[in-house]
Amino acid sequence: MTIRSEAIVAQIEDVLVGWTMSPAPAKVVAEVLGWADLHGIESHGISMLTMYDDWRRAGRVDMQADIAILRETPVSALIDGGGGLGHPPAHLAMTMAIDKAKRSGMAAVSVRHSSHYGACGYYTAMAAEAGLIGITTTTTPGVRVAPTGGAEGKLGTDPWSFSAPGDEGRPFLLDMATTTVAYGKIRNKANEGLSAPLGWVLDEAGGPSTDPGVVVGGKGFQTPLGGTADGSSHKGYGLSMMVNILSSCLSGADLVTDPAHTQRPGHLGHFFLALDPGLFRNPADVRGDVAQLCDDLRATRPIDPAKPVMVAGDPERAMAEKRRRDGIVIPDGLKAKLKAIAQDTGAVWRLN
């Protein structure tokens, strides 16, 4: 039984309003989460409602948060998220960055006192849609990544997204955690009783391990992109640091290394940048070059002829096309949890 993307979005909206969120921000959160499910990024879709419900019950996220613009210039803004879910202030931030970049050429907006904002790619897609280069970074609630040479978790998965407009409707869109892999991939290996490829996890002494259980059990660590010192994990570590500098040092959000950080998911920070290619050349020429570069990479001789080389954004677009046509499958376990949440909040159940 598959479900239409529109039903998922409506279901999320109903639950959020049931949680006392106002209709306008609820619509934004639903749109961002629904986009993730449509694009195959289930880890950041409607499944997040189970975590948001936990946070809400624990008083760690404010469903009636007031968003405030604290500072503003023609090329920048600083936004206070009011301790609520991150999607509404993040959406406002990228909207402001885009508007300002269209007038001034480029702009950066910083958000603090926020929480989880969904999939990074949603926001950079907004910039690409507007014909602009887009960048976003965010801090994350968990601390489970050891820096190169370290035997202690100090960083989060600290994702980064970049976009550029190319062919109409086919932007370059990179959305990546700065870890080797997402936590979910490690958990899946553990659930299946499989070992993890070398470089995914470190044991509690910081040594290389192929046992996913060291991370799932909470004693070991995830690795920065690169995986091992030989594989240049100092690069993934450096990118993660820059994510923290842009997201929290600029905005004044909690540092990931602040002991209070993991206790206060309403104190994350985000960063957004939009840049108009028209500052440098005719925007159509820039788009043409981006499209050409992407097509040239797609034309690379593949290792396996059945698996053509793709460009960042291609797999998610293909998935969205499929799901717009065929609908989306929500696993039974998740569906049961969501139904309980909907019933508990008095929301209509739309996902049968």
For a second copy, which residue of 43, 95, 195, 232 counts as binding (CB under 8 A)? Answer: 232
Pick 234 or 339: Cβ nearer a second copy:
234
Look at residues 89, 16, 24 and name the one whose alpha carbon lies nearest to residue 53.
Answer: 16
Binders of a second copy in range 46-65 (CB under 8 A): none
201 binds a second copy (CB under 8 A): no
Judged by beta carbon, residue 268 or residue 328, the one nearer a second copy is 268
- Cβ atoms 96, 73 nearer than 8 A: no
Query: How many CB atoms sit inside 10 A of residue 152's CB?
Result: 10
Q: Which of 234, 317, 337, 339 binds a second copy (CB under 8 A)?
A: 234
Is the Cβ–Cβ distance between 270 and 136 less than 8 Å? yes
Does position 230 interact with a second copy (CB under 8 A)? The reply is yes
* CA distance linking residue 165 with residue 293, whole number of Å: 12
Minimum CB separation from a second copy for residue 284, in Å? 12
The residues in 299-318 that bind a second copy, with binding defined as CB under 8 A, are 300-304, 307-312
**Candidate segments 11-19, 27-35, 193-201, 212-220, binder of a second copy by CB under 8 A:** 193-201
Q: Is 331 in the site for a second copy (CB under 8 A)?
A: no
Cα(265)–Cα(343) distance, integer angstroms: 26
**Residue 213 vs residues 26, 204, 262, 270: alpha-carbon distances, Å:** 37, 11, 22, 31
Indicate whether 319 belongs to the interface with a second copy (CB under 8 A). Answer: no
In the complex, minimum distance from the CB of residue 172 to a second copy, in angstroms, rounded to a whole number: 6
Write phi, then psi, for 93 (nearest 5 degrees): -65, -50
Among 40, 142, 197, 327, binds a second copy (CB under 8 A): 197
Spatial distance between the Cα atoms of 334 and 177, rounded to a whole number of angstroms: 24
* 242 binding a second copy? (CB under 8 A): yes
Provide the CB-side half-sphere exposure for 104 (13 A, CA): 15
Among 4, 60, 154, 317, binds a second copy (CB under 8 A): 154
Among the listed ranges 18-26, 43-51, 59-67, 251-259, the one in contact with a second copy (CB under 8 A) is 251-259
Binding a second copy (rule: CB under 8 A), the pick from 47, 95, 148, 195 is: 148
Terminal CA-CA length for the chain: 8
CA distances from 3 to 27, 28, 214 (A): 19, 20, 36
280 binds a second copy (CB under 8 A): yes
CB of 132 to a second copy, least distance (A): 12
- The whole-angstrom separation of Cα 175 and Cα 181 is 12
